Amino acid sequence: MTPQEVQSLRPDRNTSLRVDRPVGFLWEQEPGPDGELIDSAVLFLSNRECPWKCVMCDLWKDTLTESVQPGDIPKQIEFALQELKTADPNRSFAGAQIKLYNSGSFFDPKAIPTEDDPIITDLVQRYGFTRVIVECHPAFLGDRALRFQSLLPSTTRLEVAMGLESIHPDVCRQMGKGVDAEKYAKAALFLKENDMDHRAFMLVHPPYIRDRKSAMEWGRRTLKFALIQTEATFVSLIQTRGGNGAMEKLAEAGDWIKSTPAELKELSRFGIGLNAGRVLVDRWEG
């Protein structure tokens, strides 16, 4: 499916977004490396849509069609953190982690203006977060990520979440993301060599795998690749879902089969059994 076809099948996007307000924010807990629960302030930033048009993506629904201006993203972050503080005054930001998710690539200058980096890192320092997790397509990893990291205090670690999705070569070729196992491994190595952690998002039953047995087999291979070969400290399993128009069309043609809760559980157990990193099921709907 071409990017134009993917776009032509789209339902409406959320038109109520504001440039100075995040799409959403919440507190969540996730297990740390030793199994202890860590608080995370999770912010979903309003920003311009990602330049790729991946066939399974619906994240564009909560994005803007134009870039935000310098200063807008820090305003969103301040707003979310103040609201989180008001909602739960006993929870401490100090020592917690902050996830700055933008439904695209944090280091894409058309998404998050580069001028805002020092203000964002100041905010992270002021609130006492010890880990910042941003999401990014491998193509946007480079000098900006290094500069951003250098602006953080030495006590704060930078972690980048990347959408690996699947290592199945046909899926990688047809999904529209321009990433395959090799490119992903290169990006993971860049992060490792520069002392950043990385976590992988992986699709359970991606499009273009036409039978359940193969989907599970490639799911296991992808998990092994992420945790063992690329040393992801964390893998989030995401059930591929419909709702963006394109996935419904693929399902009709037999090019996508939805995973069952039992399959999701089996893959998650397999990943945990590898004993090579944390594996969680990502239940976000956004």
* Binding region for ligand SF4 (CB under 6 A): 50, 52-54, 57, 59, 103-104, 137, 163, 177
Rounded least distance, CB 165 to ligand SF4, Å: 7
Report how far residue 75's alpha carbon sits from residue 70's, in angstroms, rounded to the nearest whole number. Answer: 10
Q: In terms of CB distance, is 44 or 127 closer to ligand SF4? A: 44
Helix (H) / strand (E) containing 271? helix 261-273
Residue with smaller CB distance to ligand SF4, 63 or 268: 63
- List helix spans (H) across 139-227: 143-151, 169-175, 181-193, 212-224
Q: Quote the least distance from Cβ 44 to ligand SF4, whole Å.
A: 12
Query: Least distance from C-beta 256 to ligand SF4, angstroms?
Result: 15
User: At its nearest, how many Å lie between ligand SF4 and the CB of residue 217?
Assistant: 23
Q: Considering only CA atoms, which of 40, 46, 159, 51 is closest in space to residue 112?
A: 46
Of 237, 209, 178, 160, nearest in space to 53 by CA: 178
Question: Between residues 96 and 246, which has the closer beta carbon with respect to ligand SF4?
Answer: 246
Minimum Å gap between C-beta 21 and ligand SF4 is 20
When the beta carbons of 60 and 93 are compared against ligand SF4, the nearer one is 60
Tell me the C-alpha distance between 28 and 39, whole Å.
6
Instruction: Give the helix, strand, coil percentages of the chain, each rounded to 5.
Output: 40, 20, 40
By beta-carbon proximity to ligand SF4, the closer residue of 119 and 185 is: 185
Rounded to whole angstroms, the Cα distance separating 15 from 83 reads 22
